[in-house]
Structure 1
Amino acid sequence: MELKQHYDIAIVGYGPTGVTLANLLVKQGLNVLVLEREPQILQLPRAIRFDAECMRVFQTIGVAEKLQKELVPGPGMKFVDAEGNLLITWERPTQKGIHQWSSAYRIHQPDLEATLREHVERHPLLTLKLRHEVYKIDEQPEQCTLFFENLANGTLHQATAKFVVGCDGARSLIRRLIGTTFEDLNLHSRWLVVDFIVKNNSNDLGDYSIQFCDPQRPMSYIKGTGQRLRWEIMVMPEDDVQKLTQTETIWQLLSAYIQPENAEIERAAVYTFHALLAKQWYKDRLIIAGDAAHQTPPFMGQGMAAGIRDAANLAWKLKQMVSDDQHSDLIESYHSERISHVKEFIEGAVSFGKIIQNYCGDHEYQQQVSQLKNFITPTPKLGKGFIQQTEEINGQIAPQFILAQQQLSDDVAGYHFCLFVLPEFQSEIEELELHELEHFTIIYANCPEIMQWLRENHTHAILIRPDRYIFGKASSQQSIEQLIKATHLYDVITH
């Protein structure tokens, strides 16, 4: 084995979660090793949706402008019964909202991954090893030693890192080393997923996704980017799964909606959709994120988005952990904040899945449909963690504002803590010398939208974390100085 190199963070897995995390870590000056067993991006459609919050993460990384050329806003989803009667409408506005991005976007996952990889692979702090597989990790008090094989030639290698993050998918090695079990959220079903490249608009059912709640054969229609189209078809008890993926069977199943002369099949595969949540996301210096930590059915389009949120929550905390090992509670907060947040989305997907898969029209079913009839995308708060627990606003995602010269507030804030404050408190800020704090941005409320936001929340200052979630606010009961002290992340300036 060669002499081992040392890194701040090692990431196992280089899918959307891993590459997002790598981008955010090197942006903060951390030395990062990425180990990925595959030789290149899998050139097949997989995730085809993400939301405005994810777009803000990509904006922070610096790829939003490029991604816009590849994205199409998606307007939402409709649920219909076997006769075509509308059951549920889930609107996702295409106009820009409080995040200054559309509610949801359609994407071809290989294109997204390529953009994120291209951006981070230029960075000198990233060491990328494709076709390398981790087979062992030794944990020591101050670091971990990773043992991995170069699959191209069979040579064995070592490296050390302060922390190891497993973004290595549903069969995660890192999760197994942590030793956690799953909470089962009670949805496991097999579906045939077929992706098409269409030749014309003959079989275009519109921009809305459509869930066909037909007890004879539940199906989903999802429009992708460009000429891509996806149909998901539930596997029924009487199906011969071996025959289900055959071309002739696919065209027969979808004969009412799409024909061979109008499209070609890009891929067809049977997947088992799961609703699972790992009970523990970290142990000492091992951490998991993305599909390694949670698996969600696709009925809300939140699988990949959840992993992006994991990366955004974790990256700035790892920076603090590398700088000061005393802040071990930050990793605990990653688990406690994210697990309740992602659970709400998984439970939402399970509720939708049961409606799609179990259509029966009885009273209980109609009640479920009625409760979701005009569904609005949830915006869960973070679970208890690195936020002040005293106010309802704390732990919520903050809006993004358009500042002078059309600047977006996230761009001005950078990947730092940011204090939004009324202008009349500028003298107090100057006395505290907050401008001298590293990795800290101050934005004065010089536009009506920020002033209104502060006053609606009965405060003169709100402190936002690097992941754009609200840490806390200053009010008559708490000064700005006390708010900053409560983070415990900065040297308190005394006079």
Structure 2
Amino acid sequence: MLPPTDQLTFDIAIIGLGPVGATLANILGQYELSTIILERDPATYHLPRAVAFDDEVMRIFQSIELANEINAIVEVGAGAHFVDKNGKVLVNWARPQEVGPNGWFLNYRFHQPELEGILRKGLSRFSSVKTLLHREVCSLIEYEDGVDVEYKDLKTGKLDNIRAGFVIGCDGANSFTRNRIGRGFQDLGFHEPWLVVDVILKKHMPDLGPQSVHHCNPNRSATYVFLAGNRRRWEFRLKPEDDPIDISRPENVWSMLNQWIGPDDATLERAIVYTFHSSIAEQWLRGRLLIAGDAAHQTPPFMGQGMCSGIRDVFNLGWKLDRVFKGHASEDLLETYEIERKPHVKAFIDLTVKMGQLINTTASSLVSGTVSTAADEPQKLTQLRPTLGVGLSACRTEWTGQLFPQPRLQSGELLDDLVGRRSAILMRHEFLQQLPRQIIIKMEKLDIIAINDPATGIQEWFNNKGINAVLIRPDRYILGGARTVEEVDTLIKAF
């Protein structure tokens, strides 16, 4: 069925302009896909929600050419300690204060309204992207070749509609898009109400530094979080007898904060009870409807991975949509989105839930994947780097689904700045000489760049793995590896 002749049509409609939707819109803008964004709120929410992101997410911001602007508003995050009620450190989650393998620091702290402002301003670079604020989506009607999207202008009450090839719901935990897909959530076992308190310091307080502290106290769990600048956050687990309204009153909030801070030290910016959930939507895609971010999964905040996971979702999805619309792949490629991303995000949620259980008790053995040097020393928690679920792969698959690091090249340039939005074959320095001209021509036709840079970071990676080449996708994950020229040809054909 064709849309009416007066109906605007777009390749993609994005529902929701939070950090996940805005990042996706920037990605699609780079690919010059016609995109419309429908956002219910009239402006950016003025209070912080997410407060941290990691090096992989900064790498994604680099790919949409906004890393410099974002780097100017963030502070490098320190690690976290899990302490018992007597202050003894149970777990040490160190964050080295040096650039990591992704070319960025491991953790950043930020003020979400500032981040969203940069992402939204970035959309002005693209004539192919249209943003409509204060619009509420009312219906999604699917056809074989597209989706009719009806929406209401919440200022005037007027109804209007557009046609889109695909609709991506980045519309949060109460997602209209997910409800339209019609499947529920897989419950991962953590649902707890917590009081979230944000303050703005009036003066320098050196004891409230960048190190997060999780107070593991069965009586009343609490977490201190550095938010960057002069903002700080505390989170307190509610007891069954607590009244959410009463506990949020300023006098009760200051009473809970008094061991760290008082009204003379800071201004209370917000105190509100949120229920932290752990769950994953059972279905992320149906026909021409897809979901990402909180619409697809909900994560407690203890690892700072909620927003990060959503931004990884859309970086996985964006290049696949481009290949479909440019005719380089069938729509079947989109089926790999859910099967790759779901196990990856579940690994983060599972560890976050264990961290939440640890905060609520004093049993440090609850946290897996840690290293303990001695029985009386704290456990050490390291950065989690899960692989993608079993999706796209070719040739030697031992490293398939792993994120390839981002070293600096011999020129001083970061790897991703050279690769851009393309795929790349990275290889040992001398291996390029073995590739016949016809393979090089195939790569050029498919816009796959060949990189044999002698930079130590690349060559050491190949020396450690014992192979000669890998193909990395536009999202920087490895498709497969190769030892021979014939295997390189197989990698290229697979992509």
TM range (shorter): over 0.9
Cα offsets for 1:36-84 (capped at 9, x unmatched): 0101100101100000000000000001111111111112110001111
What are the superposed Cα offsets for residues 327-353 of structure 1, whole Å, 9 maximum, x if unpaired?
A: 233211100000000000000110000
Give the conservation status (yes or no) of the 8 Å contact 2:197–2:270.
yes
Instruction: Give me the CA root mean square deviation.
Output: 1.7
Choose from 311, 314, 319 the match for 2:317. 314
CA contact (8 A) 1:11 1:165 kept: yes
What SS is found at the alignment partner of 1:329? helix
**1:112 counterpart (111, 115, 124):** 115
Aligned mate of 1:228, from 195, 219, 231? 231
Larger displacement relative to structure 2 (453-462 or 126-135): 453-462
Q: State the distance in 1 between where 2:328 and 2:69 align.
A: 37
Find the residue that maps to 1:406 and give its secondary structure: coil
State TM-score, norm by structure 1.
0.94
Give the Cα–Cα distance (whole angstroms) in 2 for the partners of residues 45 and 164 of structure 1: 27
* Residue number in structure 2 paired with 1:413: 419
2:168 pairs with 1:165: yes
* Contact 1:194 1:230 survives alignment (8 Å): yes
Report how far residue 3 of structure 1 moved: 2.7
1:30 aligns with one of 27, 30, 33: 33
Aligned partner of 1:63 among 61, 66, 81: 66
Q: Secondary structure of the equivalent of 2:132?
A: strand
Residues of 2 paired with 1:53 and 1:319: CA distance?
21
Residue number in structure 2 paired with 1:451: 459
How many Å separate the matches in 1 of 2:160 and 2:368? 58
Q: Structure 1 stretch 134-143 or stretch 449-458: which is displaced more? A: 449-458
Q: Cα deviations across residues 147-186 of structure 1 (Å, max 9, x unaligned)?
A: 1111111111111111100000000011011111111000
Partner in structure 1 of residue 471 of structure 2: 463
What count of residue pairs does the alignment treat as equivalent? 482
Corresponding residue for residue 480 of structure 1: 488
2:394 aligned partner: 388
Worse overlay, 46-55 or 473-482: 473-482
Q: Which of the residues 79, 82, 86 maps onto 2:85?
A: 82
Q: Which moved more, 1:50-59 or 1:192-201?
A: 192-201
Return closer, same or farther for 1:279/1:243 CA change in 2, 3 Å cut-off.
Answer: same
Task: Tell me, in whole angstroms, the C-alpha distance in 1 between the residues paired with 2:291 and 2:428.
Answer: 39
In the alignment, does 2:354 pair up with 1:351?
yes
Provide the TM-score with structure 2 as the length reference. 0.94
Q: How much identity, in percent, do the aligned residues show?
A: 41
Counterpart of 1:252 (choices 239, 245, 255) is 255
Amino acid of the structure 2 residue aligned with 1:155: K
Q: Which amino acid aligns with 2:457?
A: E
- Equivalent of 1:340 in 326, 343, 352: 343
**Other structure's SS at 1:237 match:** coil
Matches within 5 A, 1:1-400: 3-202=6-205, 204-324=207-327, 327-357=330-360, 359=361, 361=362, 365=363, 367-368=365-366, 372=370, 373-388=379-394, 390-400=396-406
In terms of mean alpha carbon deviation, does 473-482 or 308-317 score higher? 473-482
Q: CA deviation at 1:485?
A: 0.4
Cα 1:483–1:304 change in 2 (3 A) is: same
| Distance in 1, Cα, partners of 2:446 & 2:207 | 52
Distance verdict in 2 for CA 1:366–1:128, change over 3 Å = closer
Give ranges in structure 1 of 5+ residues lacking alignment. 488-495
Q: Report the CA distance between 1:429 and its aligned residue.
A: 5.2
C-alpha distance in structure 2 between counterparts of 1:262 and 1:409, whole Å: 45
1:265-297 CA distances to partner (integer Å, 9 max, x unpaired)?
Answer: 111110000001011100010000000000000
Structure 1 stretch displaced more, 441-450 or 137-146: 441-450
Conserved? CA contact 1:454–1:462, under 8 Å: no
Q: Which residue of 1 aligns with 2:450?
A: 442
Give the distance between the partners of 1:247 and 1:472, measured in 2 at CA.
56
Give the letter for the 1:463 counterpart. Answer: L
C-alpha deviation, 1:427, in angstroms:
5.4
Per the alignment, do residues 429 and 123 of structure 1 end up closer, same or farther by CA in structure 2, a change over 3 Å counting?
farther
What's the CA shift for 1:371?
6.4
* Residue 477 of structure 1, CA deviation: 8.4
Residue-by-residue CA offset, 1:300-327 (whole Å, 9 max, x unaligned): 1100000010010000001112223962
Cα distance in 2 for partners of 1:280, 1:306 equals 16
CA distance in 2, matches of 1:138, 1:383: 31
Matched residue, 1:491? none
Amino acid at match of 1:380: P
Gaps of 5+ in 2: 371-378
Q: Could you tell me which residue of structure 1 aligns to residue 374 of structure 2?
A: none
The SS at the match of 1:350 is helix
Q: SS in structure 1 opposite 2:125?
A: coil
Q: Please give the secondary structure, in 1, of the residue aligned with 2:279.
A: strand
- The alpha-carbon deviation at position 387 of structure 1 amounts to 2.3
Rounded to whole Å, the distance in 2 between the matches of 1:130 and 1:165 is 16
Please, which moves more after superposition, 368-377 or 446-455? 368-377
Does the 8 A contact of 2:357 with 2:366 survive in 1?
no
Counterpart AA for 2:273: V
Structure 1 position 369, deviation (Å): 5.5
**AA matched with 1:254:** L
